[in-house]
Structure 1
Amino acid sequence: MLGAALGLLASLGSARAAAPEIRIQDVIDFYRVYDAGGGAPTAAALQGYLDHGSDGLRQFTGLRHLSGESIATAMARQPRLFADAKTCLDVLPAVKRRLAQALPRLGQLYPAAKFPPITILVGQGNTGGTTSPSGVLIGLEALCGASWMDPDPEDRFVHLVAHEYVHVQQPAAEHDPAHPVLLFPALIEGGAEFMAELIAGDVGYVRLKAWARGREREVETQFAADMDTTNMKPWLYNGIGTDERPGDLAYWVGYRITKAFYVHTKDKRQAVARILTVNADTAKALLADSGWTPGMALPDRVEPPAP
């Protein structure tokens, strides 16, 4: 079954499509090395996988300081993570088809959209998605193991890739300001969540959306009190969190603010442009123009304008 899946993925990876190219050769190469090593390849074999990888994998190697030794250590520590990630090979063809439909909608909504390739690869278990000069980089094993984000692996890949692809369109996502306050990164991450929902059908962090239902006023009142703080830890980049308070809640609040802005802006394409180009200097203006208030009612789904 794995051989058939790899063959299908190889043919999909080489096919030309209207959507951005989705490169999966690194995943195929990794699992060939993995199988040849009986599920425990040597550091030297894994270094060969890195040395012969794509441009995206080379970018990822530098960003995450990968080596054959570091991947071997990660595999020894979490062998189940890499073994289970094989199951996500089976969903990649459907993921590719759905993204081929979803991502071109960015160009319809935002003519300045860029469409670099998407590289799906295997790292050392700690990065599901990031961006680089090579485009969007997706760690198969990390995202496959992140069932807490969304229990459906196909949906998880589609919506997380869409989220990361929105970051490619956000100039302010490329550089952190010197002393950011919470509102700004919340709008960057929340804007990526809202745009992922708009073009691909749902947010990347479905867990937050489900957890916050019925808690909107409570959580957003807390956020409103904290939005000018430079202390991100209670709200952003703070891990999975707990059932009582999940991590990265500012993603959800930023999503709600940008959705409110989109709903209340008559020209939807202009709204998209402002969401994608918001920066530290314009964040407060977007907030003011959104009409957002803690706990306000918003539609579950909004539709993009007709092409």
Structure 2
Amino acid sequence: MRFWTWTLAGLFALAGPAWAAAPEIRIQDVIDFYRVYDTGQGGPTAAALQGYLDHGSDGLRQFTILRHLTGESIAAAMEKHPKMFADAKTCLDVLPAVKRRLTQALPRLGQIYPAAKFPPITILVGQGNTGGTTSASGVLVGLEALCGASWMDPNAEDRFVHLVAHEYVHVQQPAAQADPEHPVLLFQSLIEGGAEFLAELISGDVGYVRLKAWARGREKEVETQFAADLDTTNLKPWLYNGVGTEARPGDLAYWVGYRITKAYYVQAQDKRAAIARILTIDADTAKAFLADSGWTPGMALPEKVSLPSR
């Protein structure tokens, strides 16, 4: 995430044999959208919005396919949620700081995982239903959706930094690019939880700060429930189920997967090898990873852990 300047370009020397590039940050789509938005006085026509899509970046074109965007669908979303698109302009103000922080954070992936890839990050405006995802064009961030997701983290700058870090970890996970027909809860939770853990390691915190705060003191209760559901293919109670409620927030398995991944990292003697295993876990190795982590429901874990020594 970031940007009033156009890119996060440049190579950054890291101690050790590898060089890691800070990825390019593309925000032209955001600029183009709000030009159309302002010209239409907050209510651009579907035809004008289609022009925004038709002249967009590679990332926006990928996003258009992934989320079935059209000028008409965006116009309908804007008519239904005008405040979302108006408020999203406020997040433009945090982009310079986000850029600076990501310039420092993302190259750390190359330091701890030499095989890391650094595709571009595209900030764009969609129809309000995707904060962040990955595609062949790299990481795609929906400004309007993420700006409105204060339930993840009330601090907009932190929210953008940690969400982009989470999605950038997904870029490194081969299993995150797959789309299994019947995903099992444990495996899918390790993919999401692994991204949360490594995002914290490189950027300072997880994307779902709200879950961390909510779950404090409830570790054993929630994780005992999770342990009973490890093999289910019914993800809805645990993953991709929206904001949820104060009594039970959505996406709780992100947090449990994070805890399992952290447990594995803490006990590992070779931290770099542990990171490689976290990133390359697949459906066939999920159970072995769980066993090797030593995780049990409610176990005590350190609040923070450090990057592996050089």
Query: Does TM-score exceed 0.5, indicating one fold?
Result: yes
1:306, CA displacement in angstroms?
3.0
Q: Deviations over 1:67-97 (max 9, x none)?
A: 1111011000000000000000000111111
Note the residue ranges of structure 1 that are not aligned, 5 or more in a row: 1-7
Structure 1 residue corresponding to 2:67, chosen from 55, 64, 79: 64
2:10 is aligned with 1:17: yes
* Corresponding residue for residue 234 of structure 1: 237
CA contact (8 A) 2:199 2:207 kept: yes
Q: Please give the secondary structure, in 2, of the residue aligned with 1:185.
A: helix
Does residue 84 (structure 1) correspond to residue 100 (structure 2)? The answer is no
Deviation for aligned residue 1:16: 2.6
- Post-superposition offset of 1:179: 2.8
AA of the residue aligned to 1:39: G
Residue 38 (structure 2) aligned to one of 35, 39, 42: 35
CA distance in structure 1 between the partners assigned to 2:58 and 2:94 by the alignment:
24
Report the Cα offset of residue 14 of structure 1.
4.3
Contact 1:143 1:157 in 2 (8 A): yes
Relative to 1, partners in 2 of residues 1:28 and 1:219: Cα closer, same or farther, differing over 3 Å? same
Give, in angstroms, the shift of residue 180 of structure 1: 2.4
1:212 match: 215
Matched residues in 2 for 1:38 and 1:196: separation?
Answer: 38
| Aligned residue in 2 for 1:142 | 145
After TM superposition, list the pairs within 5 Å mapping 1:38-53 onto structure 2. Answer: 38-53=41-56
Cα distance in structure 1, aligned partners of 2:8 and 2:177: 30
What CA distance in whole angstroms lies between the structure 1 residues aligned with 2:145 and 2:187? 27
Return the alpha-carbon distance in structure 1 between the equivalents of residues 257 and 171 of structure 2: 18
Does residue 247 of structure 2 align to residue 247 of structure 1?
no
Is 2:299 the counterpart of 1:296?
Answer: yes
Q: Could you tell me how far apart the structure 2 residues matched to 1:167 and 1:290 are?
A: 21
Q: 1:181 Cα shift? A: 1.6
**Deviation for aligned residue 1:34:** 0.6
- Residue in 2 that maps onto 1:4: none
Of residues 104, 115, 119, the one that matches 1:116 is 119
Q: How far does the alpha carbon of each residue in 1:202-238 deviate from its partner, in whole angstroms, 9 at most, with x for none?
A: 0001110000000000000000111111111111111
Return the alpha-carbon distance in structure 2 between the equivalents of residues 230 and 73 of structure 1.
34
**1:161 pairs with 161, 164, 171, which one?**
164
SS in 1 for 2:6: helix
Question: What TM-score do you get using the length of structure 1 for normalisation?
Answer: 0.96
RMSD of aligned alpha carbons: 1.1
- How far residue 175 of structure 1 moved from its aligned partner, in angstroms, is 1.0
Question: 1:262-273 alignment to 2 at 5 Å?
Answer: 262-273=265-276
Amino acid of the residue matched to residue 294 of structure 1? P
What amino acid sits opposite 1:200 in the alignment? S
User: Per-residue CA shift, 1:122-177, capped at 9, x if unaligned?
Assistant: 00000000000000000000000000000000000000000000000000111133
Identity of aligned residues (%): 82
TM-score between the two structures when normalised by the length of structure 2: 0.95
Partner of residue 18, structure 2: none
Structure 1 SS opposite 2:205: coil
Is the 1:218–1:295 contact (alpha carbons within 8 Å) kept by the matching residues of 2?
A: yes
Structure 2: gaps (5+ residues): 12-21
Helix, strand or coil at the partner of 2:60: helix
Distance, in Å, in 1 between the alignment partners of 2:45 and 2:69 is: 14
In the alignment, the residues of structure 1 paired with residue 303 and residue 132 of structure 2 have an alpha-carbon distance, to the nearest angstrom, of: 25
Counterpart in 2 of 1:125? 128
**Are positions 1:26 and 2:19 aligned together?**
no
Q: Deviations over 1:171-200 (max 9, x none)?
A: 011113343221000000000000000000
Q: Do 1:187 and 1:258's aligned partners in 2 also have CA atoms closer than 8 Å? A: yes
SS for the counterpart of 1:13 is coil
Matched, 1:257 2:260: yes
**CA contact 1:17–1:100 (8 Å) conserved in 2:** no
Which residue of 2 is the match for residue 3 of structure 1? none
